Amino acid sequence: MKPVVLERLIKLILRLKDIGAPESGENACNILEKRDLTLPSGGRYHLFLPVSQIGVTVIAAHGVTVYANNDVRILQFARALTSCGVVCVLPDLHHIANGCFHTNDLDLIGELINAYRQSPTNRLGLIGFSYSGSYVLTAAANKELADKVTSVTAFGACYSMAESFAVSETFKAVPETDLEWDKYIHFSVMGVHRFGREMGVPADIAAECETLLRDYCSNYSIEYKRQFYLSRLAIYEPLEYFRVKVRQDDLDGLSPKGKLSGIRCRVSLIHGSNDHMIPASESQRIFAELRESGLADRSRLLLTDLLGHVHPGQIRPFELLRFMKSLRLLIE
């Protein structure tokens, strides 16, 4: 590894470890942020420009968060990359932000790829978190986009969204562990966010669900979430309603399953070993198809205890080195 790449990786890791914490504004003078830019289609995005660019642009797609590309974690991730000289583009994926899986979000990613495509002086990478990890893999496999992308880095991606939403383990009748409860309640609250009126959920309870959902991953204990669900939501069975409705979305069109042979760039798959929202086996299935397609030499899979689904895990030096290597595509 070149010394300059190692230096950037160390700087990136130091910034990433503080994601979710209050920002000091230390690097603000080195970053130009342009908010709510508009594409010809009407799609919106944020643009983060470093003062000194290294010739790399990344499009970073957020996951299921009602804050969309204004979620503090994706903003801090963009600033961390930009502090290393990377131009960062944050699309506003309106549908997935609201728990809806629609190909319009994939179209927006494609439009941004065309707008910021790689050139002799600029590399273009894609980053996706959670279900958006599936989106960026699917976009990179598109024959009209494949040659315009240099790399894909997917955190906790899903191989087949249709299968993920269908399997019994994803929606157990009665959760057993805290992690299962956390996932169960998250999808229940998302169901109320999307279909509360159809379910007949009263306005005051729906408003409480909105408050919980906005900071679901940071401000509430699992015991609070469980009591909230049991006392307010259980009688409406929102999870079952959400599961049935989501199957009407375009899950196959957004999933990389069966499409990965179209990828022409390097791929780095990073997945938390104990991810309770999207199991690590999903990235293993993605990696298996990449190998079957003859892309093993351009693909990397890291299953790590450093990550859960959102929260960081226990830091181990050896794991940290492997994690750094998996992030190389972002800044090299």
| 61-96: pLDDT as tens digits | 999 888 999 998 899 999 999 999 999 999 999 999
Tell me how crowded residue 17 is: count the other CB atoms within 10 A of its CB. Answer: 13
Extended strands (E) in 235-313: 266-272, 299-304
Q: 124 φ, ψ to 5°?
A: -120, 120
Q: How far apart are CA 133 and CA 159, in angstroms?
A: 9
Give residue 326's pLDDT: 83
Q: How far apart are CA 282 and CA 160, in angstroms?
A: 8
Give residue 308's pLDDT: 65
Structure tokens at 250: 């375009």
Extended strands (E) in the chain: 31-38, 44-50, 56-61, 87-91, 123-129, 151-155, 266-272, 299-304
Q: pLDDT under 50 in the chain at which residues? A: 168-169
Give residue 318's pLDDT: 60
Residue 182 has, within 13 A of its CA and on its CB side, a CA count of 17
Q: What are the tens digits of pLDDT across the range 287-307?
A: 999 999 999 999 999 998 877
Give residue 26's pLDDT: 57
Structure tokens at 5: 């790449």
Helix, strand or coil for residue 293?
A: coil
Helix, strand or coil for residue 241?
A: helix
The 3-state secondary structure of 89-139 reads: EEECCHHHHCCCCCHHHHHHHHHHHHHCCCECCEEEEEEEECHHHHHHHHH
Q: Interior CA angle at 306 toward 89 and 152, to 5°?
A: 35
Domains parsed from the chain with CATH numbers: 3-160+252-331 (3.40.50.1820), 163-246 (no CATH)
Give residue 58's pLDDT: 97
Helix, strand or coil for residue 56?
A: strand
> Which long-range contacts (C-beta less than 8 Å, at least 24 apart) are formed by 161-169?
161/101, 161/131, 161/134, 161/251, 161/252, 161/254, 161/255, 162/247, 162/251, 162/252, 162/255, 163/257, 164/278, 164/282, 165/243, 165/246, 165/247, 165/251, 166/247, 169/279
